[in-house]
Amino acid sequence: MRPHNSHNATLQRETDNRLQIRLQIAILCYHSYKFILYSIDLLQNIMSLRWGILGAGKISGQFVHDLLVSIEEGEKTHIITSVGSRDEKKGHEFVEKHGITAEANLGYSPKVQDYEGLYTNPDVDVVYIGTPHNFHREQVLSVLEHGKHVVCEKPFTVTSDEAREIFEAAKSKNLLVMEAMWTRFFPAVSMMKKHIFEDKVLGDVYRLVADLSSNFDIKNMPPSSRIRNINLAGGTTLDMGIYPLTYARILLDQGTGKNAMPFEHKAFLTLDPTDGVDHLSTILLKYKDGKHAILTSSNLVDGPSPFLRLEGSEGVLTMYADNPAKARHFKIEFKDGRDPIEFEEKNNYIGFIHEANAAFKAIQEGKTQVSEIPWDETLLVMETMDKVRHDNGLYYPGEERTKN
């Protein structure tokens, strides 16, 4: 009987060993699975662009809205890790108002910090600046000094000299700096440019008429407000006139910056005798090839709808929007009666996601500029705005007056 018992014991030990091995394999597989999930999560975080939001105003809220919508729709490209505000209470109210919760923000609750705290936050890759333009120079330079990329709202700066200084700093730091002229990044803009320059569906393009105007009730607005205060670089040309000028750059010229087609311009600004800034602006452009642009802006009256008309030998392109800065909807109608071409972007985004995605792509590729608006194009627009203002006697504090 002993040999039989010994044999059974051996079989039992072998069975136990096999079970032990299977258990160890199962445990190893479980931990491997957990490690893979952790690695995927870590990789997703590495691949996400970590945003600091500088300024807790309306436009920053709209930018944040689009980042959160992208997360809601399954994208993991953007995370908001910091909100910078001069007023801590206002910063917390901003986070609450716009729903920047861990659940909505890929598990991350953003820190509410003062500006210096945002600049030094190691969890921030890029800073979106949504403050008034008279603060842009100082803030962009501070962000760059702390080694972070920058997406800065339009107008990029008050003057072209300020923009030039920023680009020199960005070049020395090898960091992305991008003017957040969101209009340039809309899918409709790419489609219009293709129809105009590649397919040439309008034939010879002759003239652009574009307007951005809205009645701000200026007379009842205090002179200290951003719109009226000359010390805050107030007025309509920088704030609103930059959009019609941008459409002229987008739709009348394939080139940008140093490769732009030469143009001459004449402008008329009506300066308010009380606050000294412009509230009515008309800019006329003539390109080297003969194309004209009539560009108007005002905060005294409401603008027309549609707000843009591009005329060619074969047809007319018209743009429609509740806000002319949003390039969402255009229609091309032809003189020969053929079916029109129409496009309208419909989604849950306000429109800022397109520039955010462009910044993400550029940073991933190690670029310091984006093709939609390279540095020399921002400089060209800012130089034009400088000349428009100076020709009409509008100089901001600190600017040297030149003879016209």
Q: Is residue 10 part of a domain?
A: yes
Q: Is residue 397 part of a domain?
A: no
Predicted confidence band of residue 181 (pLDDT cuts 50, 70, 90):
very high
**Of 235, 43, 239, 213, nearest in space to 153 by CA:** 239
Q: Is residue 281 part of a domain?
A: yes
- 301 and 381, same domain (yes or no): yes
Predicted confidence band of residue 36 (pLDDT cuts 50, 70, 90):
very low
Q: Is residue 226 part of a domain?
A: yes
213 vs 27, more confident: 213
The answer to whether residues 303 and 309 touch, using CB atoms and an 8 Å cutoff, is no
pTM of the model: 0.88
Predicted confidence band of residue 104 (pLDDT cuts 50, 70, 90):
very high
Instruction: Give the CA diameter of the chain.
Output: 120
Asked whether residue 28 carries a pLDDT value surpassing 80, the answer given is: no
In the chain, the number of structural domains is 3
Q: Of 15, 31, 46, at which residue does a domain stop?
A: 46
- 191 and 171, same domain (yes or no): no
Return the pLDDT at 24: 73
Return the pLDDT at 2: 47
Q: Is residue 140 part of a domain?
A: yes
The helix (H) or strand (E) run that includes residue 311 is strand 308-312
Distance from C-alpha of 17 to C-alpha of 9, rounded to nearest angstrom: 12
Region of poorest pLDDT, from 43-52, 95-104, 174-183, 324-333 = 43-52
Q: Where are the beta strands (DSSP E) in 55-180?
A: 78-84, 111-113, 126-129, 149-153, 177-180
- 375 and 226, same domain (yes or no): yes
- 176 and 188, same domain (yes or no): no
Q: Of 142, 159, 181, at which residue does a domain stop?
A: 181
- Tell me the per-residue pLDDT of 109-126, one tens digit each, with 9 for 90 and over: 999 999 999 999 999 999
- 338 and 326, same domain (yes or no): yes
Asked whether residue 8 carries a pLDDT value surpassing 70, the answer given is: no
**Domain span including residue 140:** 47-181
Distance from C-alpha of 355 to C-alpha of 78, rounded to nearest angstrom: 12
Distance from C-alpha of 113 to C-alpha of 142, rounded to nearest angstrom: 15
- 140 and 267, same domain (yes or no): no
Kindly tell me the burial class for residue 102, based on how many C-beta atoms sit within 10 Å of its own C-beta (0-12, 13-18, 19 or more): exposed
- 42 and 55, same domain (yes or no): no
Distance from C-alpha of 327 to C-alpha of 58, rounded to nearest angstrom: 19
Distance from C-alpha of 262 to C-alpha of 372, rounded to nearest angstrom: 19
Return the pLDDT at 40: 40
- 74 and 106, same domain (yes or no): yes
In DSSP notation, 230-278 reads: GGGT-SHIIIIIHHHHHHHHHHH-S--GGGSPPEEEEEEEEE-TTT-SE
Return the pLDDT at 400: 78
- 286 and 341, same domain (yes or no): yes
CATH of the domain at 119: 3.40.50.720
Kindly tell me the burial class for residue 76, based on how many C-beta atoms sit within 10 Å of its own C-beta (0-12, 13-18, 19 or more): middle
Calculate the average pLDDT of the chain: 92
Distance from C-alpha of 57 to C-alpha of 80, rounded to nearest angstrom: 16
Asked whether residue 362 carries a pLDDT value surpassing 60, the answer given is: yes
- 118 and 222, same domain (yes or no): no
Report, as an integer, the average pLDDT of 6-11. Answer: 62
- Tell me the per-residue pLDDT of 307-356, one tens digit each, with 9 for 90 and over: 999 999 999 999 998 788 999 999 999 999 999 999 999 999 999 999 99
Q: Is residue 402 part of a domain?
A: no
Asked whether residue 132 carries a pLDDT value surpassing 70, the answer given is: yes
- 372 and 249, same domain (yes or no): yes
Q: Of 147, 181, 215, at which residue does a domain stop?
A: 181
Q: Is residue 399 part of a domain?
A: no
Q: Is residue 377 part of a domain?
A: yes
31 vs 286, more confident: 286
CATH of the domain at 289: 3.30.360.10
- Tell me the per-residue pLDDT of 329-338, one tens digit each, with 9 for 90 and over: 999 999 999 9
- Tell me the per-residue pLDDT of 248-269, one tens digit each, with 9 for 90 and over: 999 999 999 999 999 999 999 9
- 201 and 276, same domain (yes or no): yes
Return the number of other C-beta atoms located less than 10 Å from residue 261's C-beta. Answer: 13
Region of poorest pLDDT, from 21-30, 134-143, 304-313 = 21-30
Return the pLDDT at 44: 45
Return the number of other C-beta atoms located less than 10 Å from residue 252's C-beta. Answer: 21
Region of poorest pLDDT, from 68-82, 232-246, 389-403 = 389-403
Q: What tokens appear for 227 in the block?
A: 């719109």
